[in-house]
Chains A and B, each alone.
Chain A
């Protein structure tokens, strides 16, 4: 078999990370150096194959519509399959296929994953948490490899079943990675929450997949999506006779539920902010390149099925589209509102992710197929960038924390003002002095606490970091600009603009709706417009609080990514000592030796460039920031492929082509129509950005003190502010309304009432009954059979004795009997009257 043939090459793309997983687990896990090499090399191989395939697809003419107007429909263009499971009359086939949508994913995913891997090596090498289990670093990269392999499997899959395999394995990996620090109870709880929430949605999605297979006999994308007869039949509402829904609507709704879980849409969004318990590269992986993108990718992929029987461009919405439009709008706006009240830098990003995914889902709900795909790609770039930048920020803050510990000072531990702390230990102030006991431990909450902000993540303690980590600052600025939608120069602007343009179709081309009311378009546009304003606002807030102004804590003053030697402190605290044992040395003297050497280097006069010395100081700095620079490039420029063909001035550069639209549009049976040119959406995008960012700058652009109340807190008042910080208490509502009744039902009704009381008692009842019958027969034998002989004389004797007592000779007693007799007889006769 020719594996390098373009039809078979997609098989190979997910293989290297999976092999890397096996290699790390089985062989090289003991060595940090080899683990890093294996992991990064494997992803690099995938990256090379994926990009070569991508460029191959951009020049091929095998996609889309032929001259004659027929869609090229061939299962074996850039794909191949084999029989995986016989099912009697039919069979499941496992296969891979690449079409334009897959191709752009193959452009984005391996690149983002590669950057995340390089970054992870830097981030996890010095992960400043005590390491009770030495293979933790390797375990992390092993999980990450499995995750990457699963994501690539999902992308190249040519059928829903293989997609589902990748989807579930990613769910498993996210569970393992979010709960990576298993000794932290909150991390474990977050992992379970993420897994269970997505699992509920996944099982329902599987139900939908099953139904789809029953209706069509295949799960192959091309056989379903490119086959107008199948789509028409599925879209026929008379097929099922269930509530007037078509099969496509039922299947589509189940699939959308899968996405709601996986892409953290309302009301199943609660797991994503908690998923921040995982190490930062995980966040980048889960929230940018992989898992949440997978959810949106799946609905984009299945879009022809979701709209079967309707036409969103004519305001004929099918049920799945309505669900997506409404849920996406609610999520985009709601998460943006929550995003402005977060003080944890990663949580701001988490809410922005939820919100941006809401943009995509809502866009798909109104039929903006290409725009959703476009935003998926640009979002992946800038969100991976933002998460990794935030990781660099946190890492540098942790460095500052270590520095303070080294100097015998106490890192700050913050409590929300005026709030009870369930985890106790509230006496520590913002710049608390070291307590008497020298061993200082960071205070961890017991389980997930919504209002708890880990100290290094706390934006209120940052400030002025632009001077400490300038590369990160500017890279993050690029990402933030893209998220906020900075006009013209950022990728996010172009993709968001396209979504808004689709939403505005009801104004720009109202004739398209042919008299149907485009209510979903209006809803989606309004929500997304306000969400865009808020996005620009909180993004500005986040960047300014982090990087501008004066450092608001000791930690921020000493924040750095460089490896510094802390003079005169206990090596036991120096978690960074582990950073050096890339050769597997764990002996203490090796660390000390290294330190001495390092010490020596610092004071030695510079004599040429010494790579080892440079690497020992700047390795983390380099490994963590180089990927940022690469991603920053894409976060700014990736949008230029999707400019509206008639955009003034820029049309000279694009030559009147919207490359992205033309390329990805070929995925569909009928290429989606381009939008008419109008200034309105551009104006909307510009307004959103300038209003949001302007307000953000006006409020947070001025230096502030760490203890100062947030402006929005003052403006909104404490109750609203705390409600926002507590996510409007939705988590508790779900706990009470969903989990607890189930738990109660299982415990009380099923186990105790039915199983123990009903069934077992019935059984014991039968046993008791049998015993009782036996006993009865025994007694019958003794009493009746035996008793008959001597019973009769006995009864006569007994009766005589009883009646004898009546004849007592006492008058009063006779009178009493007579009176009772009269009463009884009288009652009897009176009752006869009626």
Chain B
């Protein structure tokens, strides 16, 4: 047992905050908001603490063997570990590596900004804030868990408040449909992934029972949901035994990888399982859209990376070379649709699909550069899209329409929102020196580099046997997505913020000025986009320290046996 307490604090503040809010009097609207702000603010501060005190050098040193030989556990920092159900090998286990520390900070930023933006929610704010905090707690839980059971537990925990928030506070015309669509997609995806993970759990247990000398010292027994327990089993080749189900060349890893990866990939908006997301974004209230597009989609990508790629690396070697095509479709396809939307929020919704495609693209390169870019893109897109949705929300609150052709001239009335939106737009189109560029450029380079030769050698397939030369073509095609992004960003900016302002129709803009809280949220989010763009080293080292072990595992980890 090990207990640092910081990560438990991050998790506990929103959870306890939510419970406290539920116990309040029904009329205590202001108190509910203050408590929510306090809870998310405290978590944000703790997550910043984790981000800035995370020891990159120690992590790199601890992972040296994993990076060079593909063997060794992931060493988490700030670990909290309490055994829970010993017989099944379930424990309450939290920890961060470089990527999760970044993601946790992103969650902190987006959730705090979400509460700030939602200050004006006047319809049952008590329940709204409580559900919002439960949602945030669930999201934190997924990022922080290093126990697979706990991770799945939090994963489901995040979905249900989401359903209630969308169905209860969303856009009236679409909310039931969207909430149902979203929940079904994500649930089905996670159930499929769960089945795959259970197969790994039992296989790892059987493997350790047969080879007790390999059992990690920290494990409670042969059967354990501990991440490193199964991760090490994967390194010993437990999932790579040829002849699974009687087919030559098939292994547990190769069979179950697509289920796990795509099961979680649904939440990352992977084509063709993306359609829940634009509808969900549009139907959700502003703060939920922010969490939803800003953090929840990253949760899918993160889980796909951690559960899919890291637990079944041999499956990744075989399947990512074609999954990259899905990612490519995501990039171009989402951009094409965003280009043609009339609804302000749908544009942003589909742009998220497009940008999350870049994350999948980065992961699918299986090299350091591309994966690092994917990590940066996760953070950059999270902050950017949270900023976008808050701008959309502020405009919509006053205009009561999201129909692009009828909007116009809002920059004269709401200059801060206009500037923030344009900043987000520039990030979105990859303008240097902003964070979008520093994220997209490594992804591009990563795709040019293609899959490392060591990885191809481990698992040659008909696609990769020529050295994956088609990756060069993918760069050029995905560049089309970037160009389209610039087009729709300019179009939306022009339609909403420039042109003539209709004083009569949008008179509320004059009577409802921006709150201080709104400004805080906009400035907080915007500043990260600039900081990361000007000096990416603040984050690249951390993400690199989390990505290098994955690449090491893919390159040198056990192959087909």
Binding site for B on A (CB under 8 A): 83-90, 133, 161, 164-165, 168-169, 172, 182, 188, 192, 195-196, 199-200, 203-204, 206-207, 210-211, 213-214, 242, 742-743, 745-747, 750-751, 754-755, 759-760, 763
**Known interface pairs A172-B431, A207-B479, A743-B339; A214-B490 also in contact (CB < 8 Å):** no
Residue of A nearest to B426 (CB): A172
**Known interface pairs A88-B369, A755-B337; A213-B445 also in contact (CB < 8 Å):** yes
A residues less than 8 Å from B447 (CB atoms): 210
Which of the segments B255-263, B294-302, B534-542 contacts the partner chain? B534-542
A residues less than 8 Å from B441 (CB atoms): 161, 206, 210
* Given A87-B369, A760-B275; 8 other pairs, CB 8 A cutoff: A84-B536, A87-B544, A88-B544, A188-B498, A199-B429, A207-B476, A214-B448, A747-B340
B residues less than 8 Å from A210 (CB atoms): 441, 444-445, 447-448, 475
B residues less than 8 Å from A755 (CB atoms): 275, 333, 337
A residues less than 8 Å from B432 (CB atoms): 164-165, 168-169
- A534 → chain B closest CB, angstroms: 34
Mostly helix, strand, loop or mixed at chain A's interface? Answer: helix
Max chain B C-beta neighbours (<10 A), residue from A204, A210, A759: A210
B494 at the A/B interface (Cβ < 8 Å)? yes
Can you sample 6 A-B contacts with CB below 8 Å?
A86-B540, A87-B368, A88-B367, A89-B368, A745-B336, A750-B340
C-alpha spacing A204/B442, complex, angstroms: 15
Contact between B494 and A750, CB atoms less than 8 A apart? no
- A19 → chain B closest CB, angstroms: 14
B147 at the A/B interface (Cβ < 8 Å)? no
B72 at the A/B interface (Cβ < 8 Å)? no
C-alpha spacing A745/B487, complex, angstroms: 14
B324 at the A/B interface (Cβ < 8 Å)? no
A residues less than 8 Å from B547 (CB atoms): 88
Contact between A759 and B444, CB atoms less than 8 A apart? no
Binding site for A on B (CB under 8 A): 272, 275, 333, 336-337, 339-341, 367-369, 372, 412, 426, 429-433, 437-438, 441-442, 444-445, 447-449, 472, 475-476, 479, 482-484, 486-487, 490, 494, 498, 535-537, 540-541, 544, 547-548, 551
**Known interface pairs A192-B490, A743-B339; A759-B479 also in contact (CB < 8 Å):** no
B residues less than 8 Å from A760 (CB atoms): 275
Max chain B C-beta neighbours (<10 A), residue from A211, A242, A746: A746
- Across the interface, A88 reaches (CB within 8 A) one of B333, B372, B476, B535, namely B372
A residues less than 8 Å from B482 (CB atoms): 203
C-alpha spacing A333/B539, complex, angstroms: 50
C-alpha spacing A742/B72, complex, angstroms: 50
Contact between B483 and A200, CB atoms less than 8 A apart? yes
- B57 → chain A closest CB, angstroms: 12
Contact between B548 and A88, CB atoms less than 8 A apart? yes
A residues less than 8 Å from B431 (CB atoms): 168-169, 172
C-alpha spacing A263/B248, complex, angstroms: 58
B residues less than 8 Å from A214 (CB atoms): 445, 448-449
Contact between B486 and A195, CB atoms less than 8 A apart? yes
- B303 → chain A closest CB, angstroms: 23
**Known interface pairs A168-B431, A751-B337; A746-B484 also in contact (CB < 8 Å):** yes
Contact between A763 and B275, CB atoms less than 8 A apart? yes
Residue of A nearest to B445 (CB): A210
C-alpha spacing A207/B340, complex, angstroms: 26
Residue of B nearest to A25 (CB): B419
**Known interface pairs A192-B490, A214-B445; A85-B433 also in contact (CB < 8 Å):** no
- Across the interface, B494 reaches (CB within 8 A) one of A89, A169, A188, namely A188
- B367 → chain A closest CB, angstroms: 8
- B174 → chain A closest CB, angstroms: 13
- Across the interface, B442 reaches (CB within 8 A) one of A87, A196, A743, A751, namely A87
Residue of B nearest to A89 (CB): B368
C-alpha spacing A196/B476, complex, angstroms: 17
C-alpha spacing A742/B340, complex, angstroms: 10
A residues less than 8 Å from B479 (CB atoms): 203-204, 206-207
B residues less than 8 Å from A743 (CB atoms): 339-340
- Across the interface, A196 reaches (CB within 8 A) one of B275, B340, B490, B536, namely B490
Please give me the 9 A-B residue pairs with the lowest Cβ-Cβ distance, nearest first: A88-B368, A746-B336, A750-B336, A747-B340, A165-B432, A214-B448, A210-B444, A746-B339, A746-B340
Residue of A nearest to B547 (CB): A88
- A147 → chain B closest CB, angstroms: 14
Contact between A754 and B333, CB atoms less than 8 A apart? yes
- A178 → chain B closest CB, angstroms: 13
A residues less than 8 Å from B372 (CB atoms): 86-88
A residues less than 8 Å from B368 (CB atoms): 87-89
Contact between A196 and B369, CB atoms less than 8 A apart? no
Residue of A nearest to B67 (CB): A88
Residue of A nearest to B332 (CB): A750
Max chain A C-beta neighbours (<10 A), residue from B337, B447, B449, B476: B337
B residues less than 8 Å from A242 (CB atoms): 472
Contact between B337 and A750, CB atoms less than 8 A apart? yes
B residues less than 8 Å from A89 (CB atoms): 368
B residues less than 8 Å from A199 (CB atoms): 429, 483, 486
- Across the interface, A207 reaches (CB within 8 A) one of B337, B437, B442, B475, namely B475
- B478 → chain A closest CB, angstroms: 9
C-alpha spacing A755/B472, complex, angstroms: 27
C-alpha spacing A204/B482, complex, angstroms: 10
A residues less than 8 Å from B339 (CB atoms): 742-743, 746-747
**Known interface pairs A169-B433, A172-B426, A207-B444; A88-B551 also in contact (CB < 8 Å):** yes
